[in-house]
Amino acid sequence: MIYKTLIKYKTLPLSYLQEKKICKTTAGKFYWPKALISVLVFLVLSIPVIANAERQSAELPSHVSKQLMSNMRGNLDTLEKITHLLAKSNYAEAADTAEKHLGMSSVEIHYQKFVGKYLPKGMRQISKQMHQAATDFALSAREAEKNDDLKKALTALSQIMKQCVACHKLYRAD
Ligand code: HEC
């Protein structure tokens, strides 16, 4: 190993070590792929650690976390429904779905079982922005219905999703 390091840093020429039969010809060839694989394995294994280190834990009691995750799956379900309705140019129903399940009128549903009480301040702020974005979407969708303006509705939909992404980037539940 020490000889490989000496070669690597060009302290000793490979030919010298080969001559002295200290080092096999193949040593230089094997060293780099092995090192590269080790570095790659290390990086891949570090990804979850790095991802978790960047996101703050919401530190929720387990029953609250379970309820929150259930709400989250509901959120995804709602987005799917909205997208499907927009694809069918059913703007009015897309607006109603958004308002009922994600908009400002849904805040009580989302905060039942005291979920809201346990959320860190930052999460509550993003949550509020998400509900507001959903209400804004509902208004835009109703506007968009007048001239089948899908672009306008999709732009407003992306504003809701922006809040999903923002919170997921900053927080984790475990
Ligand atoms: C205020 C913060 C916040 C907002 C806003 C938010 N989420 Fe989440 N969501 C979380 C957290 C925290 C988790 C847990 C992530 C983790 O621990 O890795 C999560 C997890 C999820 C999960 C996984 C659920 C499970 O059972 O594991 C889904 C799906 C999800 N969110 C969808 C959404 C969608 C769709 C939106 C937007 C409409 C959204 N979320 C908005 C905080 C948020």
Cα 99 from Cα 138, distance rounded (Å): 6
Cα 154 from Cα 146, distance rounded (Å): 15
Amino acid 71: pLDDT? 93
pLDDT in tens, the chain (174 residues): 555 655 565 556 666 656 766 655 554 555 656 665 665 566 555 555 555 568 999 999 998 999 999 999 999 999 999 999 999 999 999 999 999 999 999 988 777 767 888 899 999 999 999 999 999 999 999 999 999 999 999 999 999 999 999 999 999 998
Q: How would you label 131-140 residue by residue, b for 16+ Cβ within 10 Å and e otherwise?
A: bbbbbbbbeb
Name the residue of 50, 104, 167 whose CB sits within 8 Å of the most ligand 1 atoms, as the mutation to test its pocket.
167
State the DSSP code for 106: G
Domain residue spans in the chain? 2-54, 57-172
The CA 172 to ligand 1 mean position distance, Å, reads: 8
The CA 38 to ligand 1 mean position distance, Å, reads: 34
CATH of 57-172, one of 1.25.40, 3.40.50, 1.10.3470, 1.20.120: 1.20.120
Cα 43 from Cα 45, distance rounded (Å): 5
Q: Three-class SS of residue 13?
A: coil
The CA 127 to ligand 1 mean position distance, Å, reads: 10
Within 6 A (CB) of ligand 1 lie: 58, 69, 72-73, 75-76, 79, 123, 126-127, 130, 160, 163-164, 167-168, 171-174
Q: How would you label 73-98 residue by residue, b for 16+ Cβ within 10 Å and e otherwise?
A: eebeebbeebeebbeeebbeebbbbb
Amino acid 161: pLDDT? 98
Which pTM does this prediction carry? 0.76
Name the residue of 164, 169, 174 whose CB sits within 8 Å of the most ligand 1 atoms, as the mutation to test its pocket.
164
Cα 171 from Cα 174, distance rounded (Å): 9
H-helix or E-strand spanning residue 171: strand 171-172
Residue corresponding to tokens 């650690």: 49
Q: Which atom of ligand 1 is nearest to the CA of 129?
A: 5
Amino acid 116: pLDDT? 81
Residue nearest to ligand 1 atom 3, measured at CA: 167
Q: Which atom of ligand 1 is nearest to the CA of 76?
A: 35
State the DSSP code for 142: H
Amino acid 169: pLDDT? 97
**Radius of gyration of the chain from its Cα atoms, rounded to whole angstroms:** 28
